[in-house]
Amino acid sequence: MEVSCRIIFCILLLAAVSMEGAEPESESESEESSIISRFQQYLKINTAQPTPRYQEVADFLISEGKGLSLESESIEFVGGKPLVLLKWEGKNPHLPSILLYSHTDVVPSEHSKWTHHPFSAHLDSHGRIFARGSQDMKCVGMQYLEAVRRLKARNFQPLRSLYLAFSPDEEIGGHDGAEKFAQSEIFQRMNVGVVLDEGLASPDAHYRAFYAERTPWWMVIKSVGAPGHGSKLYDNSAMENLLKSIESIRRFRASQFDLIKAGLKAEGDVVSVNMVFLKAGTPSPTGFVMNLQPSEAEAGFDIRVPPTADPESLERRIAEEWAPSSRNMSFSFKQKAPTRNKSGKPILTKTDGSNPWWDLFENAVQKAGGKLGKPEVFPAATDSRYFRELGLPAIGFSPMANTPVLLHDHNEFLHKDEYLKGIEIYESIIKAYASFNDHGRDGASKDEL
């Protein structure tokens, strides 16, 4: 009987030990499931242009902010386009604050060309979360919130105040969102010292970080000439002159592309030019008049200019080679963002020892087990430009390693493991930034950063 009792006691003890060891794993799985669920909730809100459901997304984000005991407000610089601003006040609110910036809108999708509906936030058996915005950039906005959640659970107290901004309309230029926000009195009162914004996925194990971006010059070239019979060879006809310009632009484009193909420059370091429309011909009820040379012709070009380029030289090329008045040509810009600040310096964020925010960023990523590649110029435009134009340091960063670049593409997805790892990375960055005490260096000129 005594032996039997001992056996039963051992069995019960082993069972208790086994259950004790399994409990943390169960809790971890439950926490991970909740994190992914919140991400999916955000992704399921259809904020695609041109009719984003902004109010629904604002309600969701404010609810999340209040759940974390963050100060929250919804600001409308333009009616119907709320910018959600959350605040975690620091112990020394007089120090320059940290701005964690993201945008809530996404680009449209061709639903029929997706494996899963772009707003289903489908999690497949391989751990991939398919959704429009999974990379660009709802992942980052939620990673900010989850990192703050973890820091609060660890009773972390920030020295500097921390702001989380969720802005509208980035995908259509940011003019009613980030641009008005950066120019507002609200932003001035925030006393921002550094901005984090979006980056790009990386196909390899290194994270990508961006210290500048190419600015958009959207140009229209117009050519005019005498109309004439379709059989006659004219000098300086509208179409002939426009074709000469297109060929000149094509050769320039090829020379820039060759630098990328040869590995001499990255995509963000060259001037890119792409023709986006061609408008010419005389319409008829059945299409176009075939035996009439038109008196006007136009072509539109999307030009992206890196901060390292010489804008004056490019403008001379446009005026003298691409649209010379001597060939009855003219040009205009639908949009022409600056590449230099008011002091004439390139608009970029320094990535050396003169910028303490870069050192903190780099060290924090490494401390969390991440690897950074060489700093890059973002090949397209982001809302970071509105903050850099103010002289503020801004770093573009989306922690997505081992991930194909699928922003604006069909079947955009992010693996859940990369999403969860990104939260750890942001937790490390936020902790480093919010704890930073520079002993007076905040008084330095923003332009120096």
186 vs 31, 170, 191, 193, 384, CA distance in Å?
36, 19, 9, 15, 17
In contact, 425 and 399? CB cutoff 8 Å: yes
Query: Residue 121, by phi and psi: left (phi above 0), alpha (psi -120 to 50) or beta?
Result: left
Asked if residue 171 belongs to a known ligand binding site, the reply is yes
**Which position among 105, 169, 269, 389 bears the catalytic label?**
105
Asked if residue 198 belongs to a known ligand binding site, the reply is yes
By DSSP bridging, strand 128-130 and strand 296-305 are: unpaired
Asked if residue 25 belongs to a known ligand binding site, the reply is no
**Which position among 64, 146, 169, 170 bears the catalytic label?**
170
Nearest to 210 by CA among 348, 331, 77: 348
Rounded Cα distance between 62 and 71, Å, is 9
257 vs 269, 308, 309, CA distance in Å?
11, 16, 15
Asked if residue 103 belongs to a known ligand binding site, the reply is yes
Assigned token pair, 290: 């075939």
For residue 82, list its beta bridge partners: none
CA 257 to chain centre: 23
Residue 308, classed as helix, strand or coil, is coil
In contact, 119 and 43? CB cutoff 8 Å: yes
Q: Is 105 a catalytic residue?
A: yes
Nearest to 198 by CA among 108, 137, 134: 137
Write down the residue that tokens 């209040």 correspond to: 66
Rounded Cα distance between 70 and 14, Å, is 45
170 vs 109, 144, 315, 351, 400, CA distance in Å?
16, 18, 27, 25, 20
Residue 433, classed as helix, strand or coil, is helix
Nearest to 75 by CA among 66, 85, 67: 85
Asked if residue 136 belongs to a known ligand binding site, the reply is yes
Question: What order do you get walking across the sheet with 209-213 strand by strand?
Answer: 71-75, 83-88, 162-167, 97-103, 192-197, 394-397, 209-213, 376-378
Rounded Cα distance between 141 and 136, Å, is 10
Assigned token pair, 402: 């081992």
Q: Is 258 a catalytic residue?
A: no
Helices (H) and strands (E) in the chain, counts: 10, 19
The residues carrying an active-site annotation are 105, 170
Binding site per annotation, positions for Zn(2+): 103, 136, 171, 198, 408
Binding site per annotation, positions: 103, 136, 171, 198, 408
